[in-house]
Chain A
Amino acid sequence: MELHSQSGHQLLDLIKNKKTTAKEVWESLESRVRAIDTKVNAYVRKDEKREPSLKPDSQQEGKLMGLAVTIKDNICTTGMNTECCSKILKNFSPPYDATVINKLKTNAASIFNLKANMDEFAFGSSTENSAFMATRNPWDLDSVPGGSSGGSAAAVAADEAIWALGSDTGGSIRQPAAFCGVVGLKPTYGRVSRYGLIAFASSLDQIGPLTKDVEDSAILLEAIAGHDQYDSTSVDIAVPDYKKSLGSGIKSVKIGIPKEYFIEGLDPEIKKIVGEAIDQIKKLGAQVQEVSLAHTEYAVAVYYIIATAEASSNLARFDGVQYGLRVEAGKDSSAGMIEMYKKTRGSGFGQEAKRRILLGTFVLSHGYYDAYYLKALKVRTLIKQDFDHVFKELDCIITPTSPSAAFKIGEKVEDPLKMYLSDIYTISANLAGIPAISLPCGFTKKGMPVGLQILAKPFDEETIFKVAHAYEQATPWHKRKPEL
């Protein structure tokens, strides 16, 4: 097997045993990207000159031993542009590294010197909203990879990355992981520092790993997790040794299946595959029972009020004054500054960004705030209480990650509502702040991957890893590779 096809922990073993070096792995990745990324389009700005950021041999002492990590284009990296795949951040070169980047470096990782494609500002579920180009699903180049971390997911699936970081606001790690047949984890809100993640919705955003298997997910989370004085929403709880939670069996684990997730709108083929996965988990000895998350039906509505409200505020800073794109007002204009704002934002933001800014501005406006934003906050609390209630008795919850497998490029671009519904199963975890993983649980007849979602109580990523790893080791899905 070629180096780029291996998982992270396999490569760490090979390096430890002096069978290969981080440099050889890096070179293997580079040649893989050269060979196939013109087809997949996982990476952006490939023609730009940038510093090679492979750690020199002398600095590879540490957990990640110089192995490269692929970074989504909304996580700040020095020496490499960070543009959120938006025209408005054209040529933005951050003067600082995000906390997760510093942590990766402390753990002796190299930062891969290409950034992964994404929906502009993480607004989307297909990576079609990137201002640069659409990424293609490695399992079917006419299908979307999911989004918004579609570049990160496709890169891992196509062996153009060993592993990658994405960000998840309503499913942006898990849904593309499901579509591309990889493992994607959204950690508990506050588990990973958001400092340096260009914000979409601050109360929902969380950075997490996209990996080839569950063990890699545990390794990468451990490397990036922990309290950060620069992020007041990060929580000061010790980071466990996540690898210890792997391989211990799931005999006593109590699992809930929420009935609200298996209703109309769920593709029957997905329903069947997820059902088989649940049976498999039962066979492994877990106790499975049906539960109710009564407020599930409101999640999408609540999410699109809170997320867009916060986004409209977070995106206010892109005004052409300090960085990124500026479109001058023109000399004849009397109201130069306002014109400059309008022209810059008018031409810098894509259609979906504009839609969300308008929606968010509306729900925060005087006279509408109480009816929309405040009401949404209240329902958010109810959704969180549903989970609290279930987790009093049970250890985790299992659902499908998305109601369908990857859809075709262009299929949903004209219908934002349909697009929004592809996140219907992932949104609740962000609203409740709880951790959730997606891992491969089978393939459709057309050969497209299907994702299984496991959710647990806040800061209990260990249970997620335990159950996910047990299932993964009992099934062949994570070993299958797309033909490219």
Chain B
Amino acid sequence: MRLKDQNALVTGGSRGIGRAIAQAFAAEGAKVAIIYRGAREAAESLVAEINNEGGKAVALQADVADAASVQACVQRVEQELGPISILVNNAGVIEDDLFVRMKPEAWNKVIQTNLGGVFNFCHAVAFGMMQRRAGRIINISSVSADHVNMGQSNYSASKGAVNSLTRALAMELAKRGVTVNAIAPGFIETDMSAAVRNKAGDKIAKYIPMRRIGKPEDIARVAVFLASADSSYITGQVLKVDGGLTLGAVAE
């Protein structure tokens, strides 16, 4: 039980990578707050699943892009579970379009959720972590911050900014024993990547040196490591977890 006595908050925790992280944290003994925006049923079924297995989880609705909603959410979680010791900023959206055709709404939505959401939650928990001289912040970024795709200027920009924020916040909180790191997943089997996977079929796996698409659990295991005492001397890092996707072209 590597996360015993820890209280974790996972945004976008009802589905995909966030769900796998919430499950893995609970399995390691952490109490988990699952934050969802719209997927209430998925969040509640996950809470039931974790509680049935002897863990402790709660689900709360919040819009990560809304600072007031986030403040209220963090207060309620801390009332129910106690001080948050692990924050996972996982909530994210895509709204792809070619840049010249991209509507400002698509730009704003992606930046406000993927970057603004990280700011809002970090802002709500950082001072408390700093005062307690303990805490783990894990931001879920993407390899597409550096290895860009057509039609994802907003998404890439948001994730690149998350990586910079990860380093800047790590610098400010390091003295107080709070670590801030990011995980940059490659191609992972989630609802978010379903459209691309459906279109490309099994061709995608051929571009990945490990010849398989990642699973949410591949990311969750790394999140457990970054949340645990095993990683206490690591901060400000962006760790790619992509089966080698970004190493270069697979030549065969």
Report if A and B associate in a common complex.
no
